């Protein structure tokens, strides 16, 4: 969402393109490891990708792909793990180990950026800037950019005199770097404002930014700081047009109701995404989205934590991509930044999915904004129309979210997800293929987020029910009853969704009989699960034979899931 994030995204796209050309004829061990890492990265399996990139750096440090691998390893630490110390250490190692690579400059700058923006440590930034001066004395662009970050960090930490001094150094020494000079001049004006300078002096400093660097983002920030009305007086017609634009409210009225109270957590997440898809013309059902995203194939069990319900990584992003959409996703550091991004999405006719208290933390869809009224329009779960909320109250409640709803990837602070451009409209056969692939992976996977899943989970349920019959431990029995009351309901809803989607898709895709067979197997799974739930819920008042019977039924369900996975795997290959 930040400009720096966009820059890295573009860099990684370019790197991927170049890497693809290089890999086409590559047969080195480093090349093979790199191919594996790139495949994992493309699939969103960042732990596996990081491990392979690390192997290249550690085991093949002289390979041509080693600098690229270490750069992407640092990116994973920074963006997906949010592990700032590891990211800094990796960027620094890259810059010093491969000083002539195309990544050295970027790596050094990211060290400074992370120290300034994430660690908020001006002393660390200053030390790194001194090292950059030594390592790359001729690289004035990099040195100037690093000093601008130092000035920002000093200003944010309240070291205003030091910030002004650093910024003046950028302007005076690096006259061949106008972008850095513009940013530094803006910092000088902002520091003067923070120090309580008289309004004329502060205005003059902002005016200097605009006069000396007219075509830079810093000039735009300076204009906003002075106030657009001040400049609007120079052009009355332009001012009237802007005022008229502010009066207009933007409401996206084609977002359907979603998130009924009776839905399970995975179903609510997928139903919210379905609302976004339908607003863009994709007539997907809830079962469709659950199957294509992989949410329907999550069958967890934990005796220690009966309510545990892990979610696949980057579920929303994966589903959007399968339906042919690009997307915008991420969090923000400040409410102002978050609202600017949110407002721009809405003004470009893109409803935005956010985590919001309503009253519990849920997915809500932002569908409009009214600038002159300071109102935000949100479509709450289960509501037929949008609710207008005061902007300040909206931002305050949004800022209170510390942990997102099921299926959210990344940091919870000001998280937002919006569908962007649509690049393709996939046929049903492609959606079926995606669901089959995720179904096999989900059922055969032995754990997700530290929780046992798939057939392994149902094997564990079988053993737990057998233990309930033999040892008559009330705590054990109460635990399995708690699981049946909550998480087993999710299993049933997931099996129903799998059956519904596969049956409908198989009816539309020729030669997909195995998918239809899997649909019938899932339908039987759901039937058996409902019967098992009734047996478990009656268990506390039943004898040991009832628990033994329940254990046998759980074993049957495990076998049915294994059979469904085999049928889907055969259908995928067929």
- Stretches in the chain below the pLDDT threshold 50: 1-25, 228-229, 232-234
**Helices of type H across 195-235:** 199-212, 217-226, 228-232
Residue with tokens 């994966």: 318
- Whether residue 424 contacts residue 346, with contact meaning beta carbons closer than 8 Å, is answered with no
The whole-number pLDDT of residue 452 equals 94
Q: Of 43, 60, 540, 496, give the one whose Cα is nearest residue 290.
A: 496
The whole-number pLDDT of residue 12 equals 47
3 state SS of 417: strand
Look up residue 541 and give its DSSP letter.
G
Q: Which residues contact 395 (CB under 8 A, 6 or more apart)?
A: 335, 338, 339
> Residue 110: inside a domain, yes or no?
yes
Domain boundary among 192, 210, 245: 192
Q: Are residues 145 and 188 in the same domain?
A: yes
Tokens (6 digits) for 40: 């994992």
Q: Of 323, 256, 310, give the one whose Cα is nearest residue 445.
A: 310
- Looking at the 3D structure of the chain, how many domains does it have? 3
> Residue 307: inside a domain, yes or no?
no
Q: Are residues 464 and 518 in the same domain?
A: yes
Here the CATH number for the domain that contains residue 332 is 3.90.70.10
Q: Of 530, 507, 527, 532, give the one whose Cα is nearest residue 517.
A: 507
- Whether residue 553 contacts residue 561, with contact meaning beta carbons closer than 8 Å, is answered with no
Q: Are residues 27 and 48 in the same domain?
A: yes
Cα 302 to Cα 316: distance, rounded to the nearest angstrom:
25
> Residue 217: inside a domain, yes or no?
no
Question: Residue 454 sits in which domain range?
Answer: 428-573
Domain boundary among 381, 402, 422: 422
- Whether residue 404 contacts residue 361, with contact meaning beta carbons closer than 8 Å, is answered with yes
The whole-number pLDDT of residue 236 equals 54
- Whether residue 356 contacts residue 416, with contact meaning beta carbons closer than 8 Å, is answered with no
The whole-number pLDDT of residue 447 equals 92
- Whether residue 74 contacts residue 87, with contact meaning beta carbons closer than 8 Å, is answered with yes
Tokens (6 digits) for 433: 């293929």
Q: Are residues 24 and 153 in the same domain?
A: yes
Cα 470 to Cα 466: distance, rounded to the nearest angstrom:
6
- Whether residue 494 contacts residue 298, with contact meaning beta carbons closer than 8 Å, is answered with yes
Q: Are residues 444 and 566 in the same domain?
A: yes
Residue with tokens 């969090």: 331
Domain boundary among 144, 169, 192: 192
Q: Are residues 382 and 435 in the same domain?
A: no
> Residue 243: inside a domain, yes or no?
no
- Whether residue 542 contacts residue 477, with contact meaning beta carbons closer than 8 Å, is answered with no
The maximal CA–CA distance of the chain, rounded, in angstroms, is 88
φ, ψ dihedrals at 351, nearest 5°: -60, 150
Q: Are residues 181 and 276 in the same domain?
A: no
> Residue 469: inside a domain, yes or no?
yes
Cα 61 to Cα 56: distance, rounded to the nearest angstrom:
6
The whole-number pLDDT of residue 471 equals 79
Task: List the end-to-end C-alpha distance of the chain, in Å, as a whole number.
Answer: 41
Cα 78 to Cα 91: distance, rounded to the nearest angstrom:
10
Q: Are residues 41 and 178 in the same domain?
A: yes
> Residue 219: inside a domain, yes or no?
no
Q: Are residues 9 and 147 in the same domain?
A: yes
Listed in order, strand segments (DSSP E) in 164-288 are 250-251
Q: Are residues 523 and 483 in the same domain?
A: yes
Q: Are residues 148 and 276 in the same domain?
A: no
Q: Are residues 506 and 439 in the same domain?
A: yes
- Whether residue 246 contacts residue 265, with contact meaning beta carbons closer than 8 Å, is answered with no
Tokens (6 digits) for 165: 């001094």
3 state SS of 255: coil
> Residue 220: inside a domain, yes or no?
no
Cα 264 to Cα 240: distance, rounded to the nearest angstrom:
50
pTM of the model: 0.58
Residue with tokens 């074993």: 555
Here the CATH number for the domain that contains residue 147 is 1.25.40.10
> Residue 252: inside a domain, yes or no?
no
């Amino acid at each position: 969402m930040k400009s720096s994030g966009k820059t890295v995204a573009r860099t990684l796209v370019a790197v991927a393109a170049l890497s693809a050309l290089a890999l086409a004829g590559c047969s080195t061990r480093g090349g093979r490891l790199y191919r594996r890492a790139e495949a994992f990265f493309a699939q969103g399996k960042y732990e596996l990708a990081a491990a392979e990139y690390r192997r290249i750096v550690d085991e093949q440090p002289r390979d041509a792909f080693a600098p690229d691998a270490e750069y992407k390893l640092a990116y994973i630490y920074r963006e997906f793990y949010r592990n700032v110390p590891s990211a800094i250490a990796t960027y620094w190692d890259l810059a010093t180990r491969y000083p002539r690579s195309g990544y050295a400059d970027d790596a050094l700058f990211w060290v400074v950026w992370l120290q300034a923006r994430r660690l908020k440590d001006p002393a660390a930034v200053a030390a790194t800037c001194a090292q950059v001066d030594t390592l790359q004395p001729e690289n004035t662009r990099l040195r100037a950019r690093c000093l601008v970050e130092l000035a920002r960090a000093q200003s944010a930490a309240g070291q205003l005199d030091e910030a002004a001094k650093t910024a003046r150094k950028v302007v005076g020494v690096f006259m061949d770097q106008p972008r850095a000079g513009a940013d530094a001049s803006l910092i000088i004006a902002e520091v003067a404002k923070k120090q309580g300078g008289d309004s004329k002096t502060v205005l003059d400093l902002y005016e200097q930014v605009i006069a000396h660097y007219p075509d830079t983002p810093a000039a735009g920030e300076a204009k906003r700081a002075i106030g657009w009305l001040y400049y609007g007086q120079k052009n009355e017609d332009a001012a009237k047009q802007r005022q008229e634009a502010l009066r207009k409210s933007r409401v996206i009225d084609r977002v359907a109701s979603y998130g009924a109270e009776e839905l399970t957590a995975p179903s609510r997440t997928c139903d919210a995404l379905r609302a976004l898809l339908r607003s863009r013309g994709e007539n997907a059902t809830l079962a469709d989205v659950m199957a294509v995203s992989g949410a329907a194939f999550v069958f967890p069990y934990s005796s220690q934590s009966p309510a545990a319900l892990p979610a696949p990584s980057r579920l929303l992003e994966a589903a959007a991509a399968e339906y042919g959409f690009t997307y915008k996703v991420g969090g923000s550091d400040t409410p102002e930044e978050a609202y600017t991004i949110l407002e721009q999405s809405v003004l470009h006719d893109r409803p935005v999915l956010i985590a919001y208290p309503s009253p519990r933390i849920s997915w809500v869809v932002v569908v409009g904004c009214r600038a002159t009224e300071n109102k935000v329009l949100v479509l709450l779960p289960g509501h037929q129309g949008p609710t207008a909320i005061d902007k300040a109250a909206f931002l305050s409640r949004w800022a209170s979210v510390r942990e997102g709803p099921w299926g959210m990837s990344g940091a919870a602070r000001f998280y937002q997800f919006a569908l962007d451009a649509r690049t393709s409209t996939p046929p049903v056969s492609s959606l079926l293929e995606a669901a089959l692939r995720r179904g096999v992976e989900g059922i055969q996977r032995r754990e997700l987020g530290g929780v046992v899943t798939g057939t392994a989970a149902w094997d564990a349920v079988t053993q737990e029910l057998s233990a309930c019959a033999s040892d008559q431990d009330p705590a054990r029995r109460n635990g399995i009853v708690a699981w049946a009351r909550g998480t087993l309901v999710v299993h049933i809803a997931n099996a129903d969704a799998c059956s519904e989607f596969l049956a409908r898709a198989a009816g539309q895709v020729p030669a997909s009989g195995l998918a239809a067979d899997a649909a019938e197997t899932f339908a039987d799974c759901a039937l058996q699960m409902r019967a098992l739930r009734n047996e478990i819920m009656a268990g506390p008042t039943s004898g040991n034979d009832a628990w033994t019977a329940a254990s046998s039924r759980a074993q049957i369900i495990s076998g049915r899931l294994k059979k469904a996975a085999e049928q889907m795997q055969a259908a995928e290959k067929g």
